Amino acid sequence: MSNHVPNTTVQRLPVYLRCLVQEQSLRVPVANSVRIAEMAGTNAAQVRKDLSYLGEYGIRGIGYDVDGLVRHLTRWLGLEHVRKAAIVGYGRLGSALLGYGGFQDRGFSLAAVFDTDPEKIGTAAGSGLVVEPLADFAAAVERDALEIVVLTVPASVAQAVTDTVVAAGIKAILNFAPTKLLVPADVAVRQADVAAELQILSFHLSSGGE
């Protein structure tokens, strides 16, 4: 279904969903493209174009039924059921992500955490989880129905760890390691590069916002 939708549009859809859920919490029945654009930080024409890829869900001159569009975006993004994810690499970043409570609200559950450090394996990781050995990853995929891996390992071992999780059947990876991963064509990788984002902000500071 997503083959005909541009990647840039796909990246904006979760933002629209977040905005609409906020409106839903305020019991707003209808939101027009101008309102959604204001909340999402874009423009009304872009909102209308993006949502048009998903079908005609707006009423001209009135706007979008908030409840209906939330349901449609949730279904379109594959969030009808909770997606199970695992953190691989239980260092400072992995620990911080595990402690973040916002994943469940967005349709995800951190169901397992893995590491290769013998001193970490078997220790409590919070949220009722225990750090497991990476060697047991394949079995955990079956046990917990894992679908996504959040990779928080050093760049030097990121590819080897990626090969392990892909071999176990994982098709979606969020990579925090500052390195490009080589994966099969049917595996989706999103790069989370905090340092690069900070460098972009530095550019804006240096250029005076121009």
pLDDT at position 86: 96
pLDDT at position 66: 92
Residues 137-147: b if buried by 16+ CB within 10 A, e if exposed: bbebbeeeebb
> DSSP characters for 50-106?
HHHTT---EETTTEEEHHHHHHHHHHHTT-SSPEEEEEE--SHHHHHHHH---TGGG
Q: pLDDT tens-digit profile of 34-71?
A: 999 999 999 999 999 999 888 866 777 788 999 999 98
Q: Which of 65-69, 137-141, 204-208 bottoms out in mean pLDDT, i.e. has the lowest?
A: 204-208
Q: pLDDT tens-digit profile of 16-34?
A: 999 999 999 899 999 999 9
> Reduced to 3 states, what is the DSSP secondary structure of residue 32?
coil
List, in order of start, the domains of the chain with CATH numbers.
Answer: 2-76 (1.10.10.10), 83-196 (3.40.50.720)
pTM: 0.74
